[in-house]
Amino acid sequence: MSTQKVRVGFIGLGIMGGPMAGHILGAGYPLCVYNRTASRVEELASRGARVGASPAEVAAEAEVVITMVSDSPDVEKVIGGSEGVFKAIRPDSVVVDMSTISPEVERDLSKLLQSKQCHLVDAPVSGGDVGARNASLAIMAGGEREIFERVKPLLEVMGQPTYCGSVGCGQLTKLCNQILVVMTLLGISEALAYARKNDLDPRVMVEATQGGAAGSWQLSNLASKIIDRDFAPGFMVDLMDKDLRLVLESAETSGVPLPGTFLVAGLFKEIQAQGRGREGTQALAKVLEAMAGL
């Protein structure tokens, strides 16, 4: 793909989408953007991006349309709604959905786009706002291998893409990722509460353990935030709750028991019930602290 010729559309400029679109523009791709909250397009527009009035208008200008929104209904509306991408997309264009949604919805949207001789790659990401800003996201892609190879150079502008299989396999891989993430975060939250309850300096504990077998991205990036009482979102509790709903729905369909994930999903529900759904996922630690009487 030539960065001089491929026209890109980007829909959804939130905590993740804004920096991701910025990397695409910085790499020299002609870019047209749309966001439901209009103020979020201003920074990219000041750097030369065109602003579309609707997802359809973005699709009319682009050969590759990237979507980065919250949930399955949002993606369905952006692509198949009355002013959606499907209305104006041209044959042989590619939609790259980088949201985290239902694998089944991705397959349905792929069939819809095929009716216009277009293609879908589902490519959800992991790495949070830090990964988005640093262009170091893990990108898990599903779709036809040939189409993945067409968009791979574009994905590499935002992070490290891995081809996972047919349409929907990107989402399935992301849901596996979320199982790993929340189970690790539960362990970190428990370890921090245990350290504090036993008068062990939690910073010393983290420093001593992060270089060994217990080390992880979460321990290196979120433990210090918990200690510093920084619960600003890199990834919100509300979004993780949505992802865990998708995990548990898929697990029920496929008959896979996930007792640990079920437990953590309940703890995130408790955080939401406290009105903390827009805090970062590291707020999970507060539930363990309360249980420990800290």
**C-alpha–C-alpha distance, residues 195 and 258, integer Å:** 28
- Taking only the tens place, the pLDDT of each residue in 238-278 is 999 999 999 999 999 999 999 999 999 999 999 999 999 99
CB atoms within 10 A of CB 48: 9
Q: Which residues contact 63 (CB under 8 A, 6 or more apart)?
A: 6, 7, 8, 90, 93, 94
Q: What is the mean pLDDT of the chain?
A: 96
Residue 1 in this model has a pLDDT that exceeds 80: no
Separation CA 121–CA 235 (nearest Å): 23
Higher pLDDT, 3 or 294: 294
Question: In the prediction, which pLDDT does 234 show?
Answer: 87
Mean pLDDT of 172-190: 97
Judge contact between 73 and 15, C-beta under 8 A.
no
Catalogue all structural domains in the chain, each as residue range(s) with its CATH number: 8-166 (3.40.50.720), 172-291 (1.10.1040.10)
What is the mean predicted confidence (pLDDT) over 31-56?
Answer: 95
Given a cut of 70, is residue 57 above it in pLDDT?
Answer: yes
Question: For residue 180, is pLDDT > 80?
Answer: yes
Angle between helices 259-273 and 284-291 (to 10 degrees): 90
Whether the pLDDT of residue 143 is over 50: the answer is yes
- Name residue, tokens 């040939």: 146
Alpha-carbon distance of 226 to 43, in angstroms, equals: 31
60 in Cβ contact with 29 (< 8 Å)? no
Q: 288: which residues sit within 8 A by CB, 6+ positions away?
A: 186, 189, 190, 192, 193
- pLDDT for the residue 128: 87
Q: Is the pLDDT of residue 52 over 70?
A: yes
Residue 127 has pLDDT above 50, yes or no: yes
Q: How many CA atoms lie within 13 A of 71 on its CB side?
A: 10
Percentage of residues in the chain with pLDDT exceeding 70?
Answer: 99
pLDDT for position 4:
58
| Helix then strand then coil, % of the chain, to nearest 5 | 55, 15, 30
Helix (H) or strand (E) holding 3, with range, is none
pLDDT tens for 268-291 read 999 999 999 999 999 999 999 999
Q: What is the mean pLDDT of residues 170-175?
A: 98
Phi, psi of 11 (to 5 degrees): -120, 115
Contact 124, 145 (CB under 8 A): no
Q: Determine the Cα–Cα distance for residues 137 and 157; give it in Å rounded to an integer.
A: 10
The catalytic position among 87, 174, 197, 242 is 174
pLDDT at 21: 98
pTM score:
0.92
Q: How buried is residue 203: exposed, middle or buried, by Cβ count under 10 Å (0-12/13-18/19+)?
A: middle
Is there a catalytic annotation at residue 269? no
Q: What pLDDT was estimated at residue 2?
A: 43
Task: Please write the tens of the pLDDT for every residue from 194-229.
Answer: 999 999 999 999 999 999 999 999 999 999 999 999
CB atoms near residue 80 (< 10 Å): 16
Average pLDDT over residues 7-25: 97
- What local confidence, expressed as pLDDT, does residue 201 receive? 98
- Residue 102: CB atoms within 10 A of its CB come to 20
- Percent pLDDT > 90 in the chain is 96
